[in-house]
Amino acid sequence: MSPDLIIGIAGETIKVTLLVAAPMLLVGLVIGLAVSIFQAVTQIQEMTLVFVPKILAVLIAMLIVLPWMMNILVTYTQNLFSNIPMYIK
């Protein structure tokens, strides 16, 4: 295996990881920002208020995008496994 091949595989892995994680991270960011603005407007300074809405929103987002995430991961894994003979040359 050449260093270029290893760097290519690592780059593709990082791209797939970011692509799969992005929907949940963005939903968590938006909900966290919305709750922070709500806390600033109402002057409620409860630290645990952020966690429940954020957990529920991320869970719902994960359920919605799970088929898409699985498709991305299965495609990546099949591509990786099908190219094993080319990697060991």
- Count of domains observed in the chain: 1
Structural domain of 41: 22-82
Per the listing, tokens 């869970």 go with 59
The pTM (predicted TM-score) of the whole model is: 0.79
pLDDT band at 87 (very low <50, low <70, confident <90, very high): confident
Within-domain flag for 8: no
- pLDDT at residue 89 greater than cutoff 80: no
Tens digit of pLDDT for each residue in 13-72? Answer: 999 999 999 999 999 999 999 998 998 898 888 878 888 999 999 999 999 999 999 999
Closest Cα to residue 16, out of 71, 55, 88?
71
Contact of 34 with 54, CB cutoff 8 Å? no
In a domain, 15, yes or no: no
